[in-house]
Structure 1
Amino acid sequence: MSTNLLNLFSKATDATATEQGFHYQKLKTLKTWLENRIAGKDELIFCDTDDDIVQRDTAAGATKFRQVKLYSTNFSFSTDEVTKSLANFFMLYTQGEYLFEEVVFAFETNAGIAKETRGNDADLLREWAEHQGDLSDELLERCVTRVKQILDPYIADGYAKEKAKDHEGLFLKAKNLYERLPDDFWRSFVKSVRWEFDVIPRDTAIPQLTAEIAQLIGQLPLPVNTKQVSSYIADLHWEIVQRTIDKDPERRVLSNGLLDYLILHHGDKESHWYAALFDKWSADPKVGRFHVGSFLEVVSATRHCRWNLIETGHAPLWLEVMQQFIRLPDIPIPFKRKAIYEYLFLKMQAARAKGEADASMAADAPLVVEYFEHLEERHELADIEEDISFLQIVTAESKITEGFADDAAIEAWTEKLRSSINTHLNNARDVNEHCLMLEMKGTALMSLRHGMHDIEKVKAAMDIFRQIVPLLPSANHYTISLLSELLKQMADVYRLLGEKFENMVDEIERFRLEIAMAAPETDRRLKAAKDLVQSGATLLAAGGTRNFLRALTIFHKVVEVWRMQETMDAHVLALLGIGQVYHALGANFAGKYYALCAIWSAWHTGDEKVMAKLGDCYGMVFHADYLQGAWFSALGEYLPYMNYQKELKNGGHLTDDRVIKNFLDLVLILESAEKVHPDLVHLINDYKTRLGDLYTKEMAYLVEPLQAHLKATEDHRSFVVERVMDAPFNDAGAERFIRFKMLGPTWEIRFQNDHVMTAIAEEFAAVLQVILCEIGRSGKDIALPEKTICINIEQCDGQMEWPVLEGEIWTLRIPAADKHEPGTIRMHYAGVGNHVRSILSEISLLPKDEVETFYLSLLKERQMGQKALSVTSYQRAYFQAMDEEIFDLLARRHFSQVPGRFDHPLIDTLAVTA
């Protein structure tokens, strides 16, 4: 019969009946927790479960039960706390759960052992404590006998109390089992008991224990502020108390990961951020498929670990997760290269931190080969700096790990990288790219092996950097301040290397003096941009069409100033700001264009902090089509928006005001669909299924009230109409009509409703709206008639064709322009702008030459062309953000136009502009 049955006699152990005793137990727990973390011991600590403290190392198959007592009197075998603890230890020992583990039962107290008096067997307890772990046969037998003397009445008393109710005879069976326990069982139990008598006065036990804990906190392999040790102790003690009283036993556990989280979370904002990620990925490190948001947060955490926390032992977690990303079949090549870079860099740094070589590095050699096989597949040219750094660390590792990379391969990769830099330098698309590639060329020369002495390399690199200086006045998106800072760091390293490197320091400092006036220019421009932002915000707060139009010019200028690598996050925000202003003006396609440009810019930086704004960018694209009534497009756009928002903002659906607003707009679309267009009912139900728990559970508190309100609304059409600029679901059908009213005319743009033509036609609509807003901002009335201007757009191959007017319909033939070649795109947009100019000149009631002159003045004096063409073309940005699969997902072309489609009243959003 299993000894589990003996657990019937177990009784609840009493914690020390004082607040100090409770406090002492928790401090003992904290000390153990800290000692485990410092020693790297992967052990779980359970608070107040089977005992005061339970420590389990499942991998080692070891469990330790601890009774912790704070007392002012000493102990003997006649002390109740000793007898109760032994009884509790015995009952735990009989549990089958621990029979196959190495089990230790520890009685710990600040007190000592009492003097021998009649019947207390204090000398036996002292002898047992002094020889624990190495009991002689004779001493072992005496200890067994004494333990039996304690437990026999304990079992007898328990049976006597339960005898009358023992209808099934379980207590009797347990009592009989106890009486037949073999001697080996008793000997094994006694050997598992440990005694710890600290012999510290009660009044000094807690202060002494607290001081020991304070020292341990300073030894943690984590960033700890030594001035806040008492605050750490308070936070950790509070955590232990909360877990001790938690009703769920599974939550009464302390781990090394939890300790790291709490210590890191105690720090600055960056530590809070990292602590949350570490906690999240420690709990579930599995990667199912590629999500850019998840990938970017792991990249950020990996870098933070490499730079700041390499001693913590966190590296294995991030290495495991990054390996999973590398192996994903659906990971895009640029991201896979970044994953390889982060994985190997962290692995090398972790090995250096331990002061020993990592024997597994040679097995990663194929990853290095794969990285350089795809050298040209990167987010943007600035990422060449990572290629240079990666080649440096590969070269260093090759000297340590045999078989990692041979000299011939390194030389080939070096030449391939140099050739790539020269190719991009010779084919630079503009002066900004020219400056960047000169910087990359000089950096590569200084950092990589070129068969040159150090002083020769430095001189040659400075000569390359000097070629940047005369280009700076024309380079509005490049700043030399980052190069200046990089060179300062190099000079500092040379200084540390000793006197013989002083000539290299002199060369670097000589060049830094030459650019001393140019380097701070970025700061001055950024300060001016911040002042402009404040002015623009003031205008927006004032409200009104005229102020919105004035704010546009300000924000456009800000976008140009912030269009640099080190300020790309602000640049993306400025693009979104422009999009918001256009939306306020009713120019939804112009607003959508700038949101698409924000997506493009965020994606192509490759910077995780900038890409974290992708959710906001997609949210604005969704908002634009929602306002325009293009609800098929909006539904397609909400899916990537939802994914990015969840991935990049840890499920921000419940808190962010903008997220909630967009979700409410989505609810209106879904709950209105059947009344607006009955044929959509099955499609909408399928879409709700795609949203899953988000719609039915997570955000039900928003869905249900709106459902009830719409159900109670009699005039459903009016309720919807006042919230959008054109009829809802107006992008249904084989042919699509874009309609809006600005500066008098109603503009109606017709085109084939497919993926490519949507990009072409929306691009034209966006350019038209930008130009109309600039005309409105000027305050000049160019006398446009209040009638419908019908524009039919078709796709053509090759050159853009001149507009054709047949009756009342203009036909424009515009080519697809999915290219990122500045010269070609500028020509394309000049053609689109000429289409607009031609139409405006023809329909205006003013003389044509007057309209033409005014139009040219907008191009020259107000840089209207730069506002119509931002960081890339509409088509290019659209195709990247919205692939054809998303476009076709809802089969919009197979539904008829919404009944009463053209009855929706349009409002002239620029009627008051003077």
Structure 2
Amino acid sequence: MATLNQLAGQIRFQLEQLSPHDGHHGFEHLCRHLARARICSNILPATGPVSAYGDQGRDFETFRTYLHESPIANSSFVGLASQGPIAFACTLTQKSKIKSKIESDVETIMGEGTLVIDIHYFCTTDVSVGLRHSLQKWAKEDHQVLLEIHDGQAISEDLTDQDTFWIAVQYLSVPAELYPAPQNKDSEKWYFKLVETWKQAANLPENYADFSEMKAAIRHATFTDTAKKDLPFWIEQMELLINSTPFDALKRKGTYEIAVASLRGLGSMIGYEEQLLLYFDKVPELTAPVDIEDATTLWNYCSGAHRQNAIQVTLESLDNWRSSIVDKIESELRASTQPGKRCLLLETRGQLYMVPEPEKKNRYTINKTIASWLELALLVDKAPLFPLENFADHLTQFLELPIIGTRLENHPDFSKLTQQIDELLAKRHGGFVAAEKCRDRAMVFYKRGEILRAIKEVHKAKIQWFAEETLQGALLATLFVSSCYKEIGLVFAAKYYALATAFIALNSANNNVQPLISRGLHFTAACDYSIGAYCGFFDFTDVSLMALNSFSKPIDTLTPEHELSDILFKASVIRTLTKRLNPDLLRLVDDRIKNWQGLENYFDDLIPEAEREWNKRDFSDIWLALEEQTYDRPFSDLGLFRSIQFNALGVTWRFKWENTYELTSIVEEIVAVVQIILADIAGTDWYLLRTTVEVEISFGESKEFDLEEIPSNDLGRWRLALSNTESMGKSDLIALQLASTLLSHASLLPTEQFDNRIEAAFRDGLSHKIFFGQPYNVLYRKLIHKNEFESTNRSVLSNPESDRPFKPVLHHQLSWYSDLGSGYTEESAKKALKNRYENSVRPIKYTLKRLAQQQSFIDAVHFLRAQGWLDWHILNATSLIVLNHHVNKEISVNTDREKHFKRFKELSSQPEDVNADSVPVSEFSVENLRFHLWISMQSTLKNLGFELHQTTPDFEAISDFLGTRYKYWTDDIDHPDYGF
């Protein structure tokens, strides 16, 4: 048995033999399979008819068509990564001509068709490092493309990996038995025994016993890197079984295993089309749900293979196969009254509808999938033996599928489905099992980057897990929630859950959770570090180090993953940054570091190294890096008054307070609650204005608390006065009421709709999210004492670079909803514009003629048009000025508002009186026109079904909302020339 180095040498030798024996076709297949395994899974040959791929991916198809017609059509293939198209080319050209060959092929690829972002070039000869770099530089400068060269040596080494060695076996005739046995051979002893048995078998396989053994082996080889080299052997054995067995059902099962193994293990079904045709012809004869499920699964594989050009069947055949399965499922559902069988059929029907029909590649039928599974959920209580836990696992697995997973999770009823299944699981198997499924879904969402969805699922899990026997799992879930909040910039929500983890672990008699004390405290410190609250970082690091000493085992060697390594790194960065920002603050930092006994030697090496690295960078670059990597300015918790600012859902949230121990613990709790609520509602559109909400918080003389809105047309300003005694015990309720008020202020939803949504959020468990274990301020004060807080003298120190703007990066999942608003259609917009023109012109017909002769008005119009005003904006504002002038002369709005409004409506519906008093032209200034258009925007909001909850409106935010979501500043229709 060879070593890996020897094996690479053997492969290298076989590669060199390809050219003399006219092995280009085999080398192309080899490169394509290797590229699928290592670079890009979505790869198609450049040769072959374009129609084989339908209308999927036009740019990609255009490029592929060009390659098909190009001089290198027989040595290229293409892929589509998330960033853009990739081109691949391969050659057997010898070393002396390789440079000119690569340059020629690159120029061909880049000459026409869709541009690519990368070119991966495979060759059997070796390419020196110098030549590789020269070619890469040429490709970048002359063609603006990245060039990667995979020469014979690199290919040989790649083919020695467990999951790619089968490529060498199939295309280079390298004996499979040359591959070194894995170190953990005992764990796969059964498999190696089967390999040995079947390689020595004298008789042909023919019965179910043989099939059972080979099925286990072929699936193991398909999905296990160490065994993938054996797949060709097992496929051959399964083909022997199909040919020798007298059982039709066994032939079908063998066909299924071969097709799946060939596609999943080797990347293609080509060559098995006739067997598949026979397989699907028998679908009408099936009766067992498991056989129908196999047919559905295999059809889904065939559909995917067709999109990847990995099977040679027509769309018509695929469509016929699918129709036969649909007909069979529906006929069995009509015929069966057994709940268990119906559940199995409904599950299968849902799986079939996940994949679009062949002729309608982009028309998914996820609605039918969800409907089938919701029907299953209603029925499953009557089928106690239905494998409900497996079905829940399948839901999680489906979420991991490209495209399909996204469509499933975005379906409005998917959460309803998972909630029903979780409740059924809890009823059948207990809450712990349901919690595991929530956790599994959360991890899938997290891996997909759907952080908010992951947070919601883990919140469900932690509630069902919260028992002494599963406390460790619950606290790990809590820490995971904390990390998710921090990742999207909701740092105080993250800090709350990290504090709760540490506190619950500290007060538990369960020894298994003791390590989570220091982990929770360390993560709390990391949260403060991420918002530049360096005093807070040192406060919680002090407590974290005490917990490490008390509850963790001593370590001999400090690894990069250890909490201490992170503490040392962050402290070194703070110290180095302080030296650049304000050396006067070095004493503060050094005094805190000196408290960490036993770590001094580490800083002797780390700090000079950090300073050398940071001294190379310009300060503006350092500041930019801070904006990209953290959420608030450095030393944000210094100063007599402290401020927290963050952006979420389009709103800038700002909180200010005197930097005292008592207020800090309460204000941070308020911010944490606001952030938890924002994360909870982020998945729905609350029609928020892009405005700023600012709250000044202080202690007052009131026994409860007093919230006062301060008039401002630029932002929402509030003053919250707390009771020094009552606030500590009711801080969570105060935070909740304030958060609801602030959210309502920024939302345009009618009050009833807003309240209904808040109530729905509480029904879905919001209260369990904003209150966990203990209120935030209680946790804070139990872990950080007042004398420790005040020992830093943070309130008398100044925040460095306080005048320099700090603009942290906003996580995309907290972005403002900018889609077109509900009810908007082009047709309705045109109808509204027609009414606006008619209603605006009617009461100012004669005034318009006079104004058209006034240069000051014309100048104002030209100025406003340059700012984006359309004619209907000008007419609307002009009409309001005229109407208000006439009505105010008759009735004062302060005297009788109702009568004033009634008279206004009367005049607006009547043509202008030719003898009416002329409105002074000075009334039509730019400022007055703008003001009256702003006033009209409130009516526009009302007509759209919204309510404005601001006492003094933020007109800029309203204008922005209408312009972005209802095309207020861009929509127009053909209209007469009004002379201005």
Query: TM-score w.r.t. structure 1 length?
Result: 0.40
Structure of higher CA gyration radius: 1
Higher RCO, 1 vs 2 (CA within 8 Å, ≥6 residues apart): 1
TM-score (norm 2): 0.37
